[in-house]
Structures are given as structure tokens and as C-alpha cells.
Amino acid sequence: MSPFQTLQLPNGQTVGNRIAKAAMEENLADREQAPSEALFNLYQAWADGGSGLLLTGNVMIDRRAMTGPGGVVLEDERHLRGFEQWAKIGRSGGAQFWMQLNHPGRQTFAKLGQQALAPSAVALEMGSFSKMFAQPKPMTEDDIEEVIQRFATSAALAEKAGFSGVQIHAAHGYLLSQFLSPLSNRRTDRWGGSLENRARLLLSVVEAVRQAVSPQFCVAVKLNSADFQRGGFDTHDARQVIEWLNELPIDLLELSGGSYEAPAMQGEARDGRTLAREAYFLEMAGELASVARMPVMVTGGIRRLPVVEQVLDSGVAMAGIATALAIEPHLVKHWREGRDSQPQLPPIRWKRKALASLANMAVVRFQMDRLSRGRTPRPGVSALWALIRDQIYLGRRTRQYRQAMEV
């Protein structure tokens, strides 16, 4: 199948081609956690780049629950004009532009000074890096109901601002993913125990979001094909969750994998399995796509056009590209023009995997920062220098965030 073939979604909307710019955490909000000029510049580059679908980095549904201090928050109308401008820019090249909605749960940095909420009081296990994260507090029934409503409210606001869809983030170890995993969800009420109970929050969020938006507004879900941790959420669980999602009006299902504890989305598996360098979720995703009634998108390490074609030939509807588009934002346009581009960052082979994961994210954010300032990316940047620079920036943003929250 040609990557440049259109895709019709279940709700009747059309995506111009089969390549999506997948979500990456930009940390480029302004001091009020709203869309900034830097974010506008970055997304203008991607809007001009030829992808059929653009997904934002995670937008938080609660300013008290952040994945990072420079994250964007959409919980009310106070900055709606900025979101309207962001939506206009994202759609300026003809792409579908969807907002990824998220809640970090226990993956909340301790320095932010907020109480981390989670299904259970199970802290992250990351060796010496564990202390970076806040100790989680088990959510009450009221907390859970509030989260469901917040997802719905943020989705309705995204539609009002002019976005063409939202993606509900239930992967990578964030809150909805935590509820799905028996390792982090040890509840004994209707939100824990059996997989049916553990999936209840995700399904409730999808239903609430769908009710809050119009039928032509796209609703997508990002789900782990596996957590890559022994005893965690696995492909058998994913298959069953997909069968439940089949009964709901979902327009696209993105499959990824991993979490902060097992960053498989960066090519590392906690349980020792080796992951291929490109499309490393493809084999599992191909099996899961056969179960899904909605179109499926696979994200993970894709940077070459032949791999995109392999993904599509496997029965998957869309290929999601992240890092490669931070290096070459017009990659899809270049492929369409016949260029053999295959952007890649040098691998980081540090022995401390958690530190290497942080460095990898820092190098990617370095590229996005350059794009946001109208500069060309520098994929050969020193990982150590990028990490130090990133930590200094995040430290400054953390202080700003804490000051704002104290007002």
C-alpha cells in the first residue's frame, strides 16, 4: 500500500496520507502552561512537512498533575485563544491535528511539589532514579470520577479551539496505563483486580469524551501492545482491551509500548528482550491489528520509507514517526518528492539505561527547541551536553511552575 494513500476514519473524516507525526513531549509551554510562540513555530514546521496527521505532545488535563514543568495544560477556557492559534497552525497544511490528552499518575516528578495520584501506592522502581518521582497516593472514587470528567472537559475545549480530534493517552506508564497494569494497580474495588476492572477507567474515559464532543470530531486511543515487564500488561491483555474498545466509537488506535520503568518506546526492554531498531512493535501490532475494527497506527523507531511500506503491508493503517521528524520536519514531503532520507540520531550506549533514556529525550528536545527558534536540527549534538542543558532548563521551568502554583 502506498504511504500517500488517503485513509477514511470510522466517523467519516479523512486523513490525507498514512504517515503521522507521533507525539513527543515538547516542554515548550509559556509560563502560564499555555501554548507559546515557540510551540507555534515548531508546529508550523511540521504542518508544512507533509504528514497526514499531527499529534501534539501530551496536553495535561490538570495543572496539578504534570509530566514535565514546561507542559501545556487545557482545563478551562482561560487560554483558549492561544489554543485556537495552535489549532489553526497545525491544520494550515491540510493535516488532521489532534490533541493528545494525558494524566501522569505516579510518573510525576517530586520536584514539582504536587501529590502524585495513582491506582495504588506503588512507587516507580528505577533504582537510584526512583527518588526523582513523588510517592503516589491511591485515588479515591471521587478522584477517579474527577479524572474522567477532566478528560471529557479538555476534549470538548480542544474541539472548541479548532482541533480536529483528540488522542487519549493510555500507554507508556501514565495514569490510564497504570490502571491497566496489575503491577501498578493493586486495587480490590471495581477499578482493580480483573482485567475488566482494570480497563474500566480507560473505557469510561473514552465514553465520557465521546459524549462531550460532536460525531465528526475524531477520538483516538494510544495503548501499549505490552509494558515489557514480567507480570505486567501484556499482548494477551492488549488483545482483550482492543476487543472492548471495538464496541466504542473510536477512530484510530495507536499501539506503542513501555513506560518510564521499561522504556521500550526507545528500544529498551526491562525484561531483557531485544527490540529491533525500527518498527519494533510491528510484529505484535500486526497481530493486534487483526483484532481491531478501527484503523491501527504503529509508532516506534520508524525513519525509513521502506519500513513505512512494510508497516502498511502488514495490515496496519498508519505509521507514526516521532524522532525522525524532530530531525527532519519535512521528511514526508521529501519522501513524496523521491528523496531517500532516513534521519537518525547516534545511539546512546551508556550503561545506566535510565540515564541513557533521559539523555535520549534531551537530545530529541534539543532538536525541537532548535526548530522552535527557526534553526536547523543538529542530530550529532553531544548527548551529555544535551542532557545537562535539558536539566538546567527543566530546573528553571520547575522553579517557575512551583512559584505559579503557590499564587
Q: How many CB atoms lie within 10 A of CB 381?
A: 17
| CA 199 – CA 181 distance, rounded (Å) | 9
**Which tens digits make up the pLDDT trace of 253-284?**
999 876 676 654 444 433 333 334 445 566 77
Do 378 and 284 contact (CB within 8 A), yes or no? no
The angle, 0 to 180 degrees and rounded to 10, between the axes of the packed helices 235-245 and 282-289 is 40
**Which tens digits make up the pLDDT trace of 12-41?**
999 999 999 999 999 999 999 999 999 999
Query: Would you state the cell numbers that stand for residue 129, as one nine-digit string?
Result: 532514579
Cα Rg of the chain (Å, integer): 19
Do 27 and 71 contact (CB within 8 A), yes or no? yes
| CA 363 – CA 24 distance, rounded (Å) | 12
Query: Which backbone phi and psi does 396 adopt, to 5 degrees?
Result: -65, -45
Q: Which residues of 143-155 are buried (b: 16+ CB within 10 A; e: fewer)?
A: ebeebbebbbbbb
83: nearest Cα among 29, 15, 47: 29
245 torsion bin: left (phi>0), alpha (psi -120 to 50), beta (else): alpha
| CA 110 – CA 129 distance, rounded (Å) | 11
**Which tens digits make up the pLDDT trace of 342-378?**
999 999 999 888 889 899 999 999 999 999 999 999 9
| CA 98 – CA 87 distance, rounded (Å) | 9
| CA 55 – CA 28 distance, rounded (Å) | 15
Give the up-direction half-sphere exposure of residue 400: CA atoms within 13 A in the CB hemisphere: 16
> What's the mean pLDDT in 142-146?
98
Helix (H) or strand (E) holding 342: none
pLDDT the model gives residue 281: 60
352 torsion bin: left (phi>0), alpha (psi -120 to 50), beta (else): beta
| CA 106 – CA 139 distance, rounded (Å) | 11
pLDDT the model gives residue 273: 39
> What's the mean pLDDT in 119-137?
90
> What's the mean pLDDT in 236-251?
96
pLDDT at 285 over 80: no
| CA 245 – CA 203 distance, rounded (Å) | 7
| CA 29 – CA 165 distance, rounded (Å) | 20
pLDDT the model gives residue 191: 98
Please state which of the ranges 76-80, 120-124, 126-130, 383-387 shows the lowest mean pLDDT. 126-130
Q: Which residues are 170's β-sheet partners? A: 223
**Which tens digits make up the pLDDT trace of 305-334?**
999 998 999 889 999 999 999 999 999 999
Query: Which backbone phi and psi does 20 adopt, to 5 degrees?
Result: -115, 145
Domain positions in the chain are: 7-348
pLDDT the model gives residue 107: 95
The DSSP annotation for 174-235 comes to SHHHHHH-TTT----STTSSSHHHHTHHHHHHHHHHHHHS-TTSEEEEEEEEE--STTSS-H
pLDDT the model gives residue 16: 98
**Which tens digits make up the pLDDT trace of 88-119?**
999 999 999 999 999 999 999 999 999 999 99
pLDDT the model gives residue 280: 55
CATH class of 7-348: alpha beta
pLDDT the model gives residue 270: 37
pLDDT band at 168 (very low <50, low <70, confident <90, very high): very high
189: nearest Cα among 136, 245, 119: 119
| CA 398 – CA 400 distance, rounded (Å) | 5
User: For the chain, what percent of residues have pLDDT higher than 90?
Assistant: 82
pLDDT the model gives residue 41: 98
The CA-CA-CA angle for residues 201, 18, 174, to 5°, reads 25
| CA 343 – CA 329 distance, rounded (Å) | 10
Give CA separation, 70 vs 54, 175, 312, 356, in Å. 20, 19, 35, 21
pLDDT the model gives residue 282: 67
pTM here is 0.94
Mean pLDDT for the chain overall: 92
Do 22 and 254 contact (CB within 8 A), yes or no? yes
